[in-house]
Structure 1
C-alpha cells in the first residue's frame, strides 16, 4: 500500500505562532479599552496563555536545552500570582497596599526572568564578559541618571518602598546585561531567538517608562501594563515557533570580532555618558554632586573597558589571521612567522600532500572533502612531536615544522605521518575510503638560511610524487640545480625560436631490399650561436612540459612543408614529422597543416604525421579533438604513423579505433633483440611485423645501426628501416645531394603514400 507523504511540520507551526501573536495583539488592544474592573482579568488571561504556549512548545518541539523555557514559565507564573496578590490587597480607593504578597511575587518574577536569560546559553561560557560589562556601565549610567539618583535624592521615597524600587531597577539592569551576553555569545539567529530578544528589550523599556512615570507623578499604568504583557506575548509566540528547539544552549564555535554596529553602540554610550555628565554639571552649577561623580566614574570605567576590548579584538584578529578556519591548525602566515624566527634551532620542515584527495573531493563533494581534511589534521597533531608547528598550507597540503634533536628525525616523522594518513577514513553516509600521502622533507640546520625553505620542501614533495607517491623524499640540492637549469633552458627556447637557432635535419628511410631512399624523417636540432648543440632528449621533453612545443612544432611543420616543395616535386619523397599532444588538442591544428601544404603547393600524400603511443592514448581520451584532427588530415591524403611502437601502452583497440597507416618499430627491438638473435626476442619482432600485415599497415624499423641488424630485419620480412647504418640526420641540402647522386628513385610506396 502506498501511503500519502506526511506534511511538513514547519508550515502549520509557523501559522500557529502567527495566530498567537495576532490574537494576543488584539486582546491587548481590547484590554486597554475595557473597564478598570475587567482589565486585570484580561491581563491575567494573557499571562496564563503565555505559560500554556511555552508548555505546548516544549512538549511539541522538545528543545535539547529546555531549562530557560521552564524558568520563564515560573517567572510568568510569579507575575500572575503577583497580580492576584495585588488584587487581593486593594484599598477601598482601588490602590494596592504596600508591601503585599504581590510585591514579593513580582520581585521573584524578575529574578526568575533574569535567571532564564542567564541560562539561555549553557553555563561555562566565559565569552562576552567584557561586552556585558560595557553595557552594564552604559545601562548603569542611564539607570543612575534617570531612576536611581532621583529615587535616592528627591526625598519622595524611603524605607522599604525605596529599597524595592532600587531592587527592581537593579534587576532590570541585570536583565539588560545578560541579554547583551546572549547576543554576543549565542550563535543562533532563529525567529524564536529574535522574538525573545525583542521581548527582553520591550520589558526593559517598559520598566524604564514605569519608573519615569512614577518619578514624575504621571499615571501610565495602562501603557506600562500593555508593555509588560506585550513582552509576554512575544515570549509565547517564540515558544510556539519550531525554531525554539534550537534557540537555546548554543554558542559560537569561532567567535568573530565585534561587528561595526556593536562598536557604534559602544561609542554612542561613551558620548551619552559624557552628555549626561555635562548636563548634570550645568544643572548643579556648584560643587560636584553625587550624580556627577558617579557618571564620571562610570565614564572612566567604560573607557578602560573599551581599551581592553580593543586589545582583545586586536589579539583575536591576529590569532585568526594565523589560523586555518576549517581545521583549526595554523596557516601559511603562521608557518612563515616561525620560519622567520631570529634565532631558530636545528629544524626540519615537512610538506605533506594527500594523494587522491582531489578525486575524492570531486566525486563526493566538499562536505566529504572537509571531513577528510579534519581527520587528517587530527592525525597529524597526534603523530608529530608536541612542540611542532602544524599548519594547513592550502587545499590538501599541510606543513610541519619541528625542532630536531631529542630523538626527532625528519624521515622518521615522515614515516609516522605516512602510516597515520594511510588508515581508512570513515566518511558519513559512505564506506571507508583509503588515501595515501606524499611528503617532502627539508632538514634545516640553525646556521642555514630559511628564505627558500618552502620552495625546497615543494621540490622534495614533487620528487616523492614523481616516484609514484605514497612515500617521502628528502630535499636534494642537485635536483634544485637541475630544475633551475631546466627553467633557464625553457626561457632560452623561446629566444632561440625568434633568433633562428633551430633547424630541421632529415634522416633517410630506406628500402632494405635495395637500399634506396624512399622517405625521410624530420628531426629538430638546436645549435646556440657559439656552436654548442643542445641534445634533443634534453630540450624536447621540457618543451612538452612547458607548452613551448606548440610554437616550436608549428615552426617545424612550416619548415618541412617549405622543404617538401623541393623534396617531393623533384624526387617524389615524403617526410614524417612528429606531432605532440599539445598540438593535437588545438581544434585548428589540422587546418593549419593543410594551409601550409596548400601554400607550398604540396599534396597531402607528401606528409606523414607521427604520434607517439602516449599521444595515441590522449587521442582516444579526447576523441572530440585529437582523433578528429588526425582524421581530417587523413581525409586529405596525409598519412598517420605511430612512433616508438611496442614500448609503451600499445593496444589493438587503439589501432582499430584511430586512423593509423604506419607503425615505426621502436629502436630497442632492433638495437638489442635483433642483434642478439635469440628466438624469444625475434618472436616479438615477427609479431609486430605480422600484426602490421594483417592490419594493412607498413612497418619502419628505427635505430638500425649495423649491417647485421639490417640483414636480419630484411630476412624477417621488414621492408623499410632508418638509422645510423644508412645515414645520420643532416640538413636538407645533404639529403638532396644524396638523392641526386643516386639518380632517379624507383616508385616504392610506404603505406601507398611515401612515393607517388
Structure 2
C-alpha cells in the first residue's frame, strides 16, 4: 500500500511538472499565440477559464473586459464579451461548468504585480493537490509577464506607425494607407484626395511661448483634425507643424469643401494658460484626377500646392493642377540630372576675382558653380539652383563646392588667398554647416580664415535672432563672414551692426542702374558711408563700365567684382590672376 501511494504521488508530481512546463512554454513565448486567448491552458487539469482585464486599465473602474476564455467543451458559447461589473465576475456561465460530483471548484486569482494590476483570472478545476493556490498564483504571475511583454511589443509597433506627440498616424502608416487608396483608384476608379497642411505662424508660438506650449498646440490641432474627418479618412503628422489628410472616395470639389471645414475647425480660439491662440493653415490639395502611380508623387504635389498657397497668401488653399504637375516633373528630372552630375563629375567651380579698388590687385575670389552638362554644355547657376532651393540637393551641392574650393586653396599654396563661397538658405540652417566646413578645411590643411561664407541679407532677416547665434558660432571658429545682396532686404542699421561680418556686398542691380535711376547714386553713396562708419568693408558686385568703377573709387568703396575686371574663370586661369592688377579693366585675360 505504501509503495502504491508512493507511485501515485510520483505520477502526480511528474504530471504537475509536465503541466507546469507546458504552461511556462505557452506563456513565455509571446511570439505565437496571444496569451489572452488562454490557449496555454491546453494539457492542464483546468476544465475552463475566463480572463477579465480592467476597463481602460483602471482597477478603480471596477469593470472588467472579458478578453479571453478557455472552453475546450464549447459550453461558454453564450459568454458575454466586453465590459462587466466586478460583481458579475466570475461569469455565471463559467461557474455553471463546475460539477459538484466531480469535486470541481471555481478559483479566482488576481493578475497583478507590484507595479501593475491587470485584472482577474477565473478557472474551473477539480479539487486536489494540483489545485493548490500557489500553482494558480504562479500561473497568474507568468501571465502578467506575458501581458507586459505583449504590451511593450505593441508599443514598439505603434511607435513605428504613430506620432508620439499627437497619437496620429506617422508618415510610414500614412503612405501605406495612401498606397491602398491609389490601388483602389486604379482597380475600380474610387477617387481620393490628399490635403497637405502647414501651420502659419507656428514658429512664433514656439519662439515666444516655448516648445512645450508649441507641443500642446500641435496636440490640439491633431484633435481638431480628427473631429472634422470621417472614420474612413486618415489624418497624420509628418513632423514639425506639417499635417496630411487622406480623403477616401472624394473628388477634387469635395476635397475643397473638406479643406474649408478643416480651416474652420482650426480657426477656433483655444486658451492655453491664459494665452488665446488661434491656428490657421495653408493647405495644398492633390487629387487622383492627376493620375498618380505612387504615394510619394501625391505627397510631392500636395506639398508643392501648399507652398503655392502659402506664398500667395498664408492661410489659403491651392490645388495642384496640370501646370504644376509638369513643373514638378521637370524639377524631379532636374534633380536626377544634378545627382548624376555630382556622381559623374559634371560640375566645376569657377573663380571670379574680387579686386581691391585702391591697389588694383586681385584680393581674393568668389567661387561660382558651373554645370558642364554632357549634352547642353555649360549651364549657368540661375538656370537650376532656384529649382533646387528647397531640396536636400542644394545642401549636397553646397558641400561639394566647399570641398572643391578647399582642395583648390591647397593647390594654390604658398599663395595666401581667400575664396568666398555662397551659402544657400537651406545650407545655412542645416545643423552640420560649421562641422562640415571645419572638417573640409582641416582635411586640406587650411586655416579657417581661408574661407569667406557669403549669406544673403534675406536669409539672415528670415530669423534674425537664430541667424545671429549661427553667425557668432561661425565667426568664433575663425571663418570670415559677408552679407550678400545687401540693400535688397529690410535689415536695419542696428541689425547689421550686431552681426559679426567683415563686409557686405552691394547688389549688382544697384550698380547696373547707376546711369538710369536718379536716386541710385545717392543710395550707393549712403551704403558705402554706412559701411565705413561701421568699420565694415563694402564690395560692389556687377561692375561693368569704367564710369561705374570711377564712381565707386571716388566714394571709397573697398572692392569690386564684375565683367569689367574679369568674368568667372576656371581654376587654372584664376591661378594666373593671383595678385595681378585688374583695376583698370585692361588684363589680357579679360579679353
Instruction: Tell me the TM-score normalised to structure 1 length.
Output: 0.48
Within-5 A mapping of 1:428-577: 432-445=276-289, 449-452=291-294, 455-456=297-298, 458-468=300-310, 469-512=314-357, 516-530=361-375, 532-540=377-385, 542=388, 545-546=391-392, 547-565=395-413, 568=415, 574-577=418-421
Contact preservation (8 Å) 2:181, 2:192: no
Contact preservation (8 Å) 1:353, 1:439: yes
Of 167, 185, 189, the match for 2:83: 185
Question: Displacement of 1:595 after TM fit?
Answer: 5.6
Deviations 1:515-534 (A, max 9, x none): 55444323222213446112
Unaligned runs of 5+ in 1: 1-126, 141-176, 217-222, 235-246, 248-260, 270-322, 382-387, 746-756
Cα distance, 1:514–1:676 mapped onto 2, change above 3 Å: farther
- Give the structure with the larger strand fraction: 2
Of 117, 122, 138, the match for 2:75: 138
Cα distance, 1:615–1:476 mapped onto 2, change above 3 Å: same
Contact preservation (8 Å) 2:412, 2:575: no
Q: Distance in 2 between matches of 1:743 and 1:424?
A: 64
Deviations 1:269-288 (A, max 9, x none): 9xxxxxxxxxxxxxxxxxxx
Greater Cα shift, 436-445 or 688-697? 436-445
- 1:630 — aligned with what? 475
Deviations 1:591-615 (A, max 9, x none): 64256354xxxx7776544333356
Of 556, 563, 576, the match for 1:724: 563
Within-5 A mapping of 1:355-754: 355=199, 363-364=212-213, 369-381=218-230, 390-394=233-237, 396-402=243-249, 409=253, 412-413=256-257, 416-417=260-261, 419-426=263-270, 432-445=276-289, 449-452=291-294, 455-456=297-298, 458-468=300-310, 469-512=314-357, 516-530=361-375, 532-540=377-385, 542=388, 545-546=391-392, 547-565=395-413, 568=415, 574-579=418-423, 580-581=427-428, 582=430, 585-587=433-435, 589-590=437-438, 592-593=440-441, 596-598=444-446, 608-613=452-457, 616=460, 621=466, 627-633=472-478, 639-648=480-489, 650-672=491-513, 674-679=514-519, 681-737=520-576
Question: Displacement of 1:701 after TM fit?
Answer: 0.5
Cα distance, 1:641–1:185 mapped onto 2, change above 3 Å: same
Q: Distance in 1 between matches of 2:297 and 2:93?
A: 60
Question: Displacement of 1:684 after TM fit?
Answer: 2.8
Within-5 A mapping of 1:102-117: none
Question: Displacement of 1:467 after TM fit?
Answer: 4.1
Unaligned runs of 5+ in 2: 1-64, 110-118, 126-161, 585-591
Question: Displacement of 1:690 after TM fit?
Answer: 1.5
Larger radius of gyration between Structure 1 and Structure 2 = 1
Contact preservation (8 Å) 1:662, 1:698: yes
RMSD: 5.2
Cα distance, 1:415–1:510 mapped onto 2, change above 3 Å: same
Question: Displacement of 1:346 after TM fit?
Answer: 8.3
Instruction: Tell me the TM-score normalised to structure 2 length.
Output: 0.60
Deviations 1:242-270 (A, max 9, x none): xxxxx9xxxxxxxxxxxxx99xx9xx99x
Q: Distance in 2 between matches of 1:529 and 1:452?
A: 30
Deviations 1:204-250 (A, max 9, x none): 47x967x649xx9xxxxxx99xx9xx99xx9xxxxxxxxxxxx9xxx
Contact preservation (8 Å) 1:564, 1:574: no
* Count of paired positions: 450
Cα distance, 1:668–1:741 mapped onto 2, change above 3 Å: closer
Within-5 A mapping of 1:114-193: 138=75, 180-181=79-80, 184-186=82-84, 193=86
Cα distance, 1:488–1:443 mapped onto 2, change above 3 Å: closer
Contact preservation (8 Å) 1:131, 1:184: no
Q: Distance in 2 between matches of 1:651 and 1:501?
A: 41
Q: Distance in 2 between matches of 1:524 and 1:139?
A: 77
Contact preservation (8 Å) 2:191, 2:249: yes
Question: Displacement of 1:355 after TM fit?
Answer: 1.5
Contact preservation (8 Å) 2:457, 2:486: yes
Q: Distance in 2 between matches of 1:203 and 1:596?
A: 80
Deviations 1:470-519 (A, max 9, x none): 22222234434444444444444454345443333222233446755444
- Give the structure with the larger helix fraction: 1
**Aligned-partner SS, 1:688:** helix
- 1:313 — aligned with what? none
Cα distance, 1:641–1:482 mapped onto 2, change above 3 Å: same
Cα distance, 1:199–1:453 mapped onto 2, change above 3 Å: closer
Contact preservation (8 Å) 1:351, 1:398: yes
**Aligned-partner SS, 2:370:** strand
**Aligned-partner SS, 2:477:** helix
Question: Displacement of 1:692 after TM fit?
Answer: 0.8
Q: Distance in 2 between matches of 1:629 and 1:331?
A: 39
